[in-house]
Amino acid sequence: MHIARAKPDDAAALTEIAFAAKRHWGYPQNWMESWREVLTIRPEFIRDHETYKAAVDDRVVGFYALERKGDRLDLAHLWVSPDAMGQGVGRCLFIHALERARDAGFRELEMESDPNAEGFYERMGAHRIGTNTRVLEGQTCELPVLVYEIEHGP
């Protein structure tokens, strides 16, 4: 697997991965449609945010993006193609994101997680600090908010 900086012309492939990964959890199509804006990765987003892609045999199988919010750094996206899940792609992308955050001088990396991915982040060492509530077609959804505390070397 190779991790490299994404380019604006990767936007369509990254969008496809985000939708496939979210759909993997069995959400109804109308919910998927309501997330279109959030899951669509635009070329200008890639240009304006640190976005990295993971490729296996020249096929992009996952990506992540970091977003600065004031003095905080967020993991804005981390998606793995369903056919590559369980093969260490997410772990490698997350570790890479932590290294980028550490190199940029951040002490924490925060993420809002799909409830189905919370266990992954916890296994990686993040812990829940709260929830964000969304209402979708009259149904309340709680999204875990987690933080990973980055250790700095001496």
In a domain, 87, yes or no: yes
In a domain, 72, yes or no: yes
- pTM for this predicted structure: 0.93
- pLDDT at residue number 43: 98
In a domain, 64, yes or no: yes
Query: For residue range 76-86, what is the model confidence (pLDDT) as tens digits?
Result: 999 999 999 99
In a domain, 20, yes or no: yes
Query: For residue range 88-133, what is the model confidence (pLDDT) as tens digits?
Result: 999 999 999 999 999 999 999 999 999 999 999 999 999 999 999 8
In a domain, 125, yes or no: no
Find the mean pLDDT for residues 60-66. Answer: 98
Mapped onto helix, strand or coil, the DSSP state of residue 57 is coil
CA-based end-to-end distance of the chain: 30
The domain total for the chain is 1
Sheet holding 139-149, edge to edge: 2-5, 50-56, 59-69, 72-80, 108-112, 139-149, 127-136
54 torsion bin: left (phi>0), alpha (psi -120 to 50), beta (else): beta
In a domain, 58, yes or no: yes
Residue 58's CATH number: 3.40.630.30
In a domain, 145, yes or no: no
Domain of residue 91: give its range.
2-107
Find the mean pLDDT for residues 43-72. Answer: 95
Instruction: Determine contact, residues 61/89, Cβ cutoff 8 Å.
Output: yes
- pLDDT at residue number 154: 39
In a domain, 26, yes or no: yes
